[in-house]
Amino acid sequence: MLRHRTALVPSLFIGLLATRMFVGGAFGYGGDVKHAPDSLADGLAAWEQIYSVLTSPRCINCHTATNYPQQGDDRHRHFANVIRGPEGKGVPGLNCLSCHHEANADSTGVPGGPDWHLAPLSMQWQDRNDKPLSSAAVCRSVTDRSKNENMDGSALLKHHQEAELVLWAWHPGVRPDGTARTTPPLTHAQFVTATRTWVQAGTPCPKGK
Amino acid sequence: MAIYKLTVNGQRKEVNVDPSTPLLWVLREELKMTGTKYGCGISACGACTVHVDGVATRSCVLPISLVGGPIITIEGVAQDPVGRAVQDAWVDKDVVQCGYCQSGQIMSAVALLKATPKPTDTNIEESMGGNLCRCATYVRIREAIKSASQQLK
């Protein structure tokens, strides 16, 4: 999908009208979008906003490429020898659920939400040295339906609007010392608006590695 | 304060505590079940491990308001064949030194064997990695888990 998209980008120079036709047709998401797609430039700008959220600690700490989650704004390795496990939920005796329950435990500073788990390795947004992947690379992963649980643009928008662990990022509770955890750089409403713009533009991805 | 109805080792219990109270302190202070130990208070050592709805759970960081199922503690774990086998193996292999962490160790070991009846060394290291023992009884813990696994054939 991305290769098709990238290869066709030069054709966009013929004008906005052609761009809109291209986005609505060749990207294949037009059928589930009610509004006319925005320009490619708008879509790419919206993606960069989305990327700023996805690579914030509340999101990327559980989108690792390694055998462990991270924690904290400095994204350090999760303490207590916690590991990923075969399903991203830890291992027997040391599951995510051993500490992370249905809701934040603000009296003890442990974050929680429904079905707390790591994102699958196919949705890793950082390299094995814990460095965030580029905007282009994360975009490729997010839009690759063989990696993203077969989500098209509409499903991605719904995921960003409603998924409980996504919503948790804006309600992350407090740290053990009682101070509030930081939230992503956009509000959730801004994040959803950016996602809608990006989806309406056909989920374009930046060029590059 | 609020009233919570719990099932602990198969018995119905009722406590009237602040919703933020960790389960550990409900067990120890309200129910006088002191087999579960306070170690670090931040879920880093595993000494406070109990089972909640079948999952090995760090009771020191679990507010009573979020308890979502029946609780099994070290006092009740031998009611189950796996728990019995693990406790027997612990005695047979003379695992314990000071003993402070051992109730948590046993609860994690039982959770491991229930999910993975024939664990490899890697399984044991991964599952028991969150349970610390300052006496460093790790070699005997691994031996006892393997022994219990054999007994449960």
What is the nearest CA distance from B145 to chain A, expressed in angstroms?
13
Q: Is B41 in the same domain as B19?
A: yes
For B61-95, what is each residue's pLDDT tens digit? 999 999 999 999 999 999 999 999 999 999 999 99
According to the model, what pLDDT value does residue A38 have? Answer: 54
Q: Which of B72, B94, B116 is the last residue of a domain?
A: B72
Q: Is B63 in the same domain as B101?
A: no
pTM, entire model: 0.87
Q: Which of B72, B101, B121 is the last residue of a domain?
A: B72
Q: How many domains does chain B have?
A: 2
Q: Is B58 in the same domain as B95?
A: no
CATH number of the domain at B39, please. Answer: 3.10.20.30
pLDDT of B8 above 60? yes
The tokens describing A207, both together, are: 């060029």
CATH number of the domain at B116, please. Answer: 1.10.150.120
With contact defined as beta carbons under 8 Å apart, do A94 and B126 qualify? yes
For A34-63, what is each residue's pLDDT tens digit? 444 559 999 999 999 999 999 999 999 999
Whether A108 sits inside 8 A of B62 (CB atoms) is yes
Q: Is B13 in the same domain as B43?
A: yes
pLDDT of A123 above 60? yes
Give residue A71's identity as a one-letter amino acid code: Q
Give φ, ψ of A127 to 5 degrees.
-90, -175
Comparing alpha-carbon positions, the chain B residue that sits nearest to A111 is B61
What is the nearest CA distance from B46 to chain A, expressed in angstroms?
9
The verdict on B70 touching A (C-beta cutoff 8 Å) is no
According to the model, what pLDDT value does residue B142 have? Answer: 98
Q: Where are the alpha helices (DSSP H) in chain B?
A: 23-25, 81-92, 102-115, 121-128, 138-151
Q: Give the separation between CA A63 and CA A153, rounded to whole angstroms.
A: 20
Comparing alpha-carbon positions, the chain B residue that sits nearest to A90 is B127
Mean pLDDT of B27-40: 98
SS3 A117: coil
Q: Give the separation between CA A191 and CA A203, rounded to whole angstroms.
A: 14
Whether A108 sits inside 8 A of B111 (CB atoms) is no
Q: Is B50 in the same domain as B87?
A: no
With contact defined as beta carbons under 8 Å apart, do A143 and A159 qualify? no
Quote the domain boundaries for residue B120.
Answer: 78-151
For A3-40, what is each residue's pLDDT tens digit? 333 333 333 333 333 333 333 333 334 334 444 455 99
pLDDT of A206 above 60? yes
Q: Is B126 in the same domain as B66?
A: no
Q: Give the separation between CA B141 and CA B89, rounded to whole angstroms.
A: 9
The verdict on B152 touching A (C-beta cutoff 8 Å) is no
Q: Is B109 in the same domain as B48?
A: no
According to DSSP, the residues that pair with B5 across neighbouring strands are B14
pLDDT of A1 above 60? no
For A148-181, what is each residue's pLDDT tens digit? 999 999 999 999 999 999 999 999 999 999 999 9
With contact defined as beta carbons under 8 Å apart, do A55 and A73 qualify? no
Q: Is B83 in the same domain as B18?
A: no
According to the model, what pLDDT value does residue A35 have? Answer: 45
Q: Which of B56, B72, B88 is the last residue of a domain?
A: B72
Give the position of tokens 């309600």.
A171
Q: Is B87 in the same domain as B142?
A: yes
Q: Is B53 in the same domain as B96?
A: no
Q: Give the separation between CA A91 and CA A80, rounded to whole angstroms.
A: 13
The verdict on B56 touching A (C-beta cutoff 8 Å) is yes
Q: Is B68 in the same domain as B83?
A: no
User: Average pLDDT of chain B?
Assistant: 97
Q: Give the separation between CA B45 and CA B40, rounded to whole angstroms.
A: 6
Q: Is B96 in the same domain as B63?
A: no
Give residue A199's identity as a one-letter amino acid code: V
pLDDT of B12 above 50? yes
According to the model, what pLDDT value does residue A3 have? Answer: 35
